[in-house]
Structure 1
């Protein structure tokens, strides 16, 4: 045979005319999913409407999350160590008890922010009423940060605690937002130009927020 069946979504990167001229193979754009190829062939290389439709279900959205979650968790440990060292810093040096007493909560916030951006936001993507991935991640990050504070958020009396809460609500939702923004490459409806524009706006804000926090 002299026919190549290519995925429908590969059409933007293939010049069928050039393929035919250089190789003598005729290009047909088949269904979106490889599992539909047998039915496509049995139908005489005719694709039905469902074969042409891209689906991005709950399971589809969760499938690529490890690609973002695992690299983020690898970066979590050095940052976690730094947070613990800062929490344990006293006039007498770095002490274990204050390290754990004051350090467990920032670690919880950081881990929650990573999970919010890499797992929760992709899972709930259609349910979050915002278009921007950065804003979707920010919204989920704000909710998870508030959940980590719980009722203590309404019992802040010390200026130090107030500043800690302000810094937390600035920094950790930004982490969640950044993680969610990285997920755009795993979706079937984010355009490269849109992603570049969103990155150009969001990344300077992330650096500013991190510096202030």
Structure 2
């Protein structure tokens, strides 16, 4: 079956846009160095938070593994529980009304670890930033909130938005954003196939009609 060039062009364009959406969304997470999940929660809720940290060189000359991760919990949060992670130990400290969790372990370059804790959210809504330090075996310490090395280190996602929800209001979460992304991708592919088939059929019909009128008569 003959397929029109315009149909192929539109199909390619939609597939390129879809690939860009997927790549952009995934690269945001791949390029991050410390991520706190979830990034949305409710006031006064007891939430389970997961801090994902990646093993990497913390300076141009430091290729040693990570041995310690420290997270400073913003004022208003109260640590309820710290989960045991295989190969890691922890201790909780309180300094100037700020709670701090110190994890000690071993994280080689190229690997990641999820450090999990449970905390009670503040009673007041707003954006709260968790401060995360990462320490290497030879003593290099990075504060991901403030330090970025162009070309080596990318972004970190350490802000949690605490929301006082009104009835009927539901913020986007990582799960809902993933669902929206999947629906968008499926819709774009479906639209591309529909248009592609319709354009192809029209081109084929035009080709048949042209052949009938231009064919030599005997």
The TM-score, its normalising length taken from structure 2, stands at 0.22
The TM-score, its normalising length taken from structure 1, stands at 0.23
- Higher normalized strand content (fraction of residues): 2
Which has the larger Rg?
2
Higher relative CO (Cα under 8 Å, sequence separation at least 6) belongs to: 2
- Higher normalized helix content (fraction of residues): 1
